[in-house]
Structure 1
Amino acid sequence: MNALTNRRHPAAVVLLLLLGLLLTGTAYAALAPKQATAASTAAGADQVAYGKELFVANCATCHGKNGTGTKSGPSLAGVGAAAVDFQVGTGRMPLMNPGAQAPRGTDVKFDDEQIAAMAAYVASLSPGPAVPEAKWLDAKAGDPARGGQIYRVNCAMCHNARGAGGALTRGKYAPPLIGVEEKHIFEAMETGPQSMPVFNDKNLSPEDKRDVIAYLKSMDEEGNPGGQALGSLGPVSEGMFAWIFGLLILVGAAVWLGQKSA
């Protein structure tokens, strides 16, 4: 009876609560993300400040001083660092000439440090997709066969089965994917630029995206062993080529034979 009374002593409840708090605190300290050091925090703040300077000088005319958008450009809240890295890194932004679609630029206006700074600033406005980690960009670690299946289901209707691109409506188009950098392929799937749908982790996992990259890179390596690609449209364009030129040869032969017999 005394033992039962001791187990139910009020002090036991307090001790159990203290023990629970101690265990919870220990687990949190072990598993929680490490706090950034003062130096890294200052470096991050400096990068964001530098990015804001670049943004105000080069992007604010269309997107607004605080990235909230104007009549000339959309809001950038929530697009994340990945969208900035893709748009600026491919030379699509800053946009030189307004049109139905921003084409890939032949000359990127900013270096990697400046692009990273602008991406950090836009990311500070509102949470969004981050620049992908290197492990998701390694085509050799992906499965090109599986990536081909994913690509044909989700991408081929616009970009062509061979990644040659294709026309859309109202002057828009799906750009070719051959020769595009792995990072920019991933970012395009993650952010859905222009007419492209967004394939976030709920639609396609990072592993799926890496497999798609592996498939596209396998086509880069394969090239066109048959000669001219003819738009990579398969038997349609090849059959039309053979029909037109074959017909011309037959007509020419008939004319030549007719003249010779005369």
Structure 2
Amino acid sequence: MKKLSARRRHPLAAVVVLLLALAATGGLYAAFAPAGKAQADETSQSLTIKEGQKLYSVGCASCHGTGGQGTSDGPSLVGVGAAAVDFQVGTGRMPASSSQMAQIPSKKVIYTQAQIDQLAAYVASLGAGPNVPTKEQYSKDGADIGRGGELFRTNCAQCHNFVGKGGALTAGKYAPSLEGVEPKHIYEAMQTGPQNMPSFPDTTMTEKNKKDIIAYLNAVNGSETENPGGLELGGLGPVSEGLFAWIFGLGALIAVAIWVAARTAKAKKS
């Protein structure tokens, strides 16, 4: 008993007990929850990438190369990120029906969302790039619609029109209408800059700015929106408005002039 008591009073006894307690706690922690969960997540991600690689080999490799390095028929996908895949495939632009068109249009989507996620995971594994945005990033909650309108008119209206109706570019290219486009895809387009569009990464346009722009587009193109100015003439801006004024305004003036001339001639005869 005296020897045991002496050992307990030893200066290193407390340190030894603490080390043993830490080792036991760490061992139990590693043996049960985290390691198993981390391993399961890693296995799940690995399976997702493998399934995406299979889909890629069948539907994408002929144009973009077996390893995403690109060919004469398609650009490299190394570093484009999951967001680019989710946008291009999720809007039906990819797979493209032809690489000879001036611009690849949106069309019916042929992949399920689960398959798109698998393709995106595989392409993301080829090189770091923009991730698919979360719902919180493109939700209109907390967005400033007025600020979004200012940003859109400054950065986007030159091509997409001031309310996102779209417009013609050069050499058969065009800026598509943004009416009815999913907020997630608008966010991804700003992140990745598809086809003729410049990219607006967070270093150029913040996440909050993108959210404001999406809220503005939802406000001006939403089904519940009423135009306070009356007939919007397609929302295409001064060209359609000028054409309307020229045809109907000038036509009305000509009709009035003819009526006045006819009345004058009649009055002179009488």
TM norm. shorter chain > 0.5 = yes
Q: Which residue of 1 aligns with 2:245?
A: 242
Aligned-residue offset at 1:245: 2.1
Q: Choose from 79, 102, 105 the match for 1:100.
A: 102
Match of 2:197, as an amino acid?
Answer: M
**Deviation by residue 1:132-191 (Cα, 9 ceiling, x = unmatched):** 122111112211111111111111111111111111111111111121111001000000
Partners of 2:245 and 2:112 lie apart in 1 by 47
CA RMSD in angstroms comes to 2.4
- Identify unmatched segments of 5+ residues in structure 1: 1-33
Partners of 1:226 and 1:145 lie apart in 2 by 18
Matches within 5 A, 1:27-176: 37-98=38-99, 99-105=101-107, 107-176=108-177
> In the alignment, is residue 184 of structure 1 matched against residue 180 of structure 2?
no
Range moving further from structure 2, 133-142 or 185-194: 133-142
Partners of 2:51 and 2:253 lie apart in 1 by 68
Match of 2:73, as an amino acid?
Answer: S
**Deviation by residue 1:12-59 (Cα, 9 ceiling, x = unmatched):** xxxxxxxxxxxxxxxxxxxxxx87611111111111011111111111
Cα pair 1:78 1:128 within 8 Å, conserved: yes
**Deviation by residue 1:212-248 (Cα, 9 ceiling, x = unmatched):** 1111111123254656543423344223202212333
Cα pair 2:163 2:221 within 8 Å, conserved: no
Match of 1:125, as an amino acid?
Answer: L
Q: Which residue of 2 aligns with 1:233?
A: 236
Match of 1:173, as an amino acid?
Answer: Y
Range moving further from structure 2, 92-101 or 223-232: 223-232
Q: Percent identity?
A: 52
Q: Which residue of 2 aligns with 1:6?
A: none
Residue 117 to residue 153, structure 1, CA distance change in 2 (3 Å): same
- Identify unmatched segments of 5+ residues in structure 2: 1-33
Cα pair 2:161 2:237 within 8 Å, conserved: no
Cα pair 2:49 2:121 within 8 Å, conserved: yes
Partners of 2:218 and 2:244 lie apart in 1 by 28
Partners of 1:47 and 1:69 lie apart in 2 by 22
Q: Which structure has the larger Rg?
A: 2
Residue 250 to residue 149, structure 1, CA distance change in 2 (3 Å): closer
Partners of 1:143 and 1:57 lie apart in 2 by 44
Partners of 2:105 and 2:158 lie apart in 1 by 20
Q: Which residue of 1 aligns with 2:15?
A: none
Q: Which residue of 1 aligns with 2:29?
A: none
Residue 110 to residue 223, structure 1, CA distance change in 2 (3 Å): farther
